[in-house]
Structure 1
């Protein structure tokens, strides 16, 4: 690779989270995503069902019902009203660069009713008795999750969703949203044009300004569309796109491989790239910060690709694996067993969710079951409260195994163990699930 190619690969790793994030913001405000209907800026889109295979979003969970909102604080402050709740919930705030900068909910601010004022960068005004949440970027997202134990629990969740509202203080202000980007002729150049336009519209954290400015030689900091750049620049952007994507793919594969065959990879710190913005419920603690700037940029890109809008480890811990106990890739061609005994130590609840590769989407199956956990109806627990989960493409013939069946796709898959409000044994690494055992 030339020096310009290398620079473009660095730009891809830096810019991928911004582009990937804002593409989803555009989806939510224009067409909706899966069971979350379209909603304009500064209004909630409430899913009314648990996620299914129809929800084509990276690593979406099946434990909670989503309440999503795209914020455009160009209209000025927006008031968030949250009702009292007796169940686990979290409203996670994510800026345009995918920094998790605030958490409202059970762990972060408690289960009491609350009033919050979400304000744009540089705002300095009267909070009117509300808790102020400063957004690092004009456009941001609220990713809300309400614990739901099944269909019979949905009416109670719906009531809480309906009582959760956003109200701009200036009702006449008009949201401008995400700047439109003209097509440049192919997907690669379209990516770079989105990055060029959006990186200028949504300034990064001050610590990243110099890095962003260093991409001037690629034509990414100017006014000219990338389709009109020199042949050398466009060739470098194509090489950088491929090289950066390869780095992400390699990092994802490496992160999923433990020290021992089939060991689960704990991603407790994959979302620790926010070093600058800490509002309500967000922990400003060196233990939850990636200090190395190069590692931070790569981790941010990997986190966006594999689990966009995932929580910090202190809110919800995610562990995953692509391999069985013999170190072989997990695939629907075989049958497996996972023993979680004793059960994961959590303050809220836990589950194992199935995802097909390479998209990391939920898996369609005959019983519409996408996860198995401590709240799954009809499961058979072990003597210590743990669970032995059967993983296979077809329904097991044994009744006990069928009760604890997690359906798999025909091809490669990756399960994720989610632990909401993880206990200290999870956070300090002394708890780890056993490898998945192949049965055939």
Structure 2
């Protein structure tokens, strides 16, 4: 029985119903919160190793983690400076302005517009027109490559106005504006619109012109004056010098902030002079520290590039990856930053890649012809659309002819099903003599990869119940 319960029970036995121990001053006072003193953080920085040997080793071990952690933030920060910070750059458009691609650049059925948002002083408003059933998504990437989307999957396909709200903002919005909170002050916006080929160019251009992006103050009719200043633009020399990488990581963290979950890791980087609250100054470091950081940079990039295959999951000759949201998976994020820097979340776009046929032999249009057959009722299950195209196996970039409309998929009105309701797609360098021409996907006379992109995949695909059929090599006579 509790201390309070005993006097209440005694009072009841004595016929004193309603007697309250609190009124009598018998309830013990609440105990003050006790905090363990041993977990108090000291008010000074950590010590450094005394010898050059261990100082270099310390910098090397921390530098490995810094490069893995910073690969995506540095790449995105450089892109932001290129488009919005360096007025001498040929890519420069400034903040809150779209740079429109005139044709597909990475995916045959998608045309992309890119913009950067600065929310350090004011939210931004994205205006979306009625898309009339055409697929689109506005994909926002923070400086850590995490993606979030405004589109039919998240908000429906009608027209709308969305306020992109930075962390901590607490003002009032116009009634017609839907709030869209984000976790970073600086954001990259990739606006992806479905295109049906070159004949769709004029209608697509008219539709893109109806999208709007402006600071909230300007949306309300006021004048938005940008007063925050970015640091001088970095050198865009490639490959990036190792010590310049660490400097840019510091600038990226100053601009984008450090997520709370990462603060312990980032705080350790102060041991070699990298802190979000001050400029990184490699000239002030000891020669041993600089040696360790340079060696760590080169080894970390080799580790990242050597881990590329680890992010993919194999599915009977095809591979796929769950990208676009990384949490604490810093190595996965670093690999994606170098291999698929525009990756979206799988709920928006799930990509399957085949580099070999069903027998494990690498795909090569100069050596073989191939057949991909979807069984009746087994086309890719999507709520958006799907497309099948070819890419260079070495780089992953699409072949030039693929960007000129040489792709097949649900947007291809001329695809012909066979007598059983299945779909056969022929992949070869020359037109097939005994097959439906509309189902021919021209291949180069060179090694290639086959890329299946699925927009707004359904649960059967997301949960692994559906997977692409194997790529079958055909005898030379066919």
Shared fold (TM-score, shorter chain, > 0.5): yes
Aligned to 1:223: 279
Q: Does 1:429 align with 2:475?
A: no
Q: TM-score normalised to the size of structure 1?
A: 0.81
Choose from 400, 412, 423 the match for 2:435.
Answer: 400
Structure 1 residue 176 displacement after superposition: 5.1
Q: 1:273 aligns with which of 323, 326, 334?
A: 326
Q: Does 1:77 align with 2:132?
A: no
Aligned to 1:148: 195
Contact 1:271 1:299 in 2 (8 A): no
Give the superposition deviation at 1:307: 1.8
- Which of 58, 74, 94 is the matching residue for 1:19? 74
Judging changes above 3 Å, is the alpha-carbon distance between structure 1 residues 183 and 24 closer, same or farther for their aligned structure 2 residues?
closer
SS of residue paired to 2:356: coil
Alpha-carbon spacing, 1:324–1:193, altered in 2? closer, same or farther (3 Å)? farther
Query: 1:6-28: per-residue Cα shift (whole Å, max 9, x none)?
Result: 33222111100111222333344
User: Is the deviation greater in 146-155 or in 181-190?
Assistant: 181-190
- Name the residue aligned to 2:305: 249
How far did 1:422 drift? 0.7
**Contact 2:96–2:118 under 8 Å retained in 1:** yes
What do the CA deviations read for 1:50-85 (whole angstroms, capped 9, x no partner)? x1xxx4xxxx22212222221112341222111122
The 1-side partners of 2:102 and 2:229 are apart by: 25
Deviates more, 1:247-256 or 1:395-404: 395-404
Instruction: Report the RMSD for the aligned CA atoms in angstroms.
Output: 3.1
Q: Superposition pairs for residues 337-376 of structure 1, below 5 Å?
A: 337-341=371-375, 342-365=378-401, 368-376=404-412
Q: Is the 8 Å Cα contact of residues 97 and 204 (structure 1) preserved in structure 2? A: no
SS where residue 400 of structure 1 aligns? coil
Q: Distance in 2 between matches of 1:417 and 1:213?
A: 42
Structure 1 residue 225: deviation in Å? 3.0
2:231 is the counterpart of 1:179: yes
For 2:425 and 2:286, the matched residues in 1 are separated by 56
Give the whole-Å Cα distance in 1 for the aligned partners of 2:296 and 2:426.
42
Q: Which has the higher contact order (CA 8 A, sep 6+)?
A: 1
Gaps of 5+ in 1: 275-292
TM-fit CA distance, 1:163? 1.3
1:247-270, Cα deviation, whole Å (9 max, x unpaired): 33233224446265x2x1232x22
Deviations 1:292-329 (A, max 9, x none): x3xx1122222222222322111121122333322233
User: Structure 2: where are the runs of 5+ without partners?
Assistant: 1-55
Task: Give the secondary-structure state (helix, strand or coil) at the position aligned to 1:347.
Answer: coil
| One of 334, 337, 355 as aligned partner of 1:304 | 337
SS at match of 1:117: strand
Cα distance, 1:47–1:220 mapped onto 2, change above 3 Å = same
Alignment of 1:15-414 (within 5 A): 15-29=70-84, 39-49=93-103, 51=104, 55=105, 60-86=106-132, 87-100=134-147, 102-129=148-175, 130-168=177-215, 169-170=217-218, 171-174=223-226, 179-183=231-235, 187-189=240-242, 190-221=244-275, 223-226=279-282, 229-256=285-312, 258=314, 260=316, 262=317, 264-267=318-321, 269-274=322-327, 293=328, 296-335=329-368, 336-341=370-375, 342-365=378-401, 368-376=404-412, 378-383=414-419, 386-392=422-428, 394-398=429-433, 400=435, 403-408=438-443, 412-414=447-449
CA deviations 1:192-219 (Å, max 9, x no partner) are: 3211222222212110111111222333
Per the alignment, in what secondary structure is the counterpart of residue 192 of structure 1? helix
Contact 2:198 2:404 in 1 (8 A): no
Gap change, CA 1:224 and 1:144, over 3 Å in 2:
closer
Show CA shifts across 1:387-429 (max 9, x none). 433334x333537375444445565443321111111210110
Secondary structure in structure 2 of the residue aligned to 1:143: strand
Change (3 A) 1:356 1:238: farther
TM-score with structure 2 setting the length:
0.75
Contact 2:145-2:325 within 8 A present in 1 as well: no
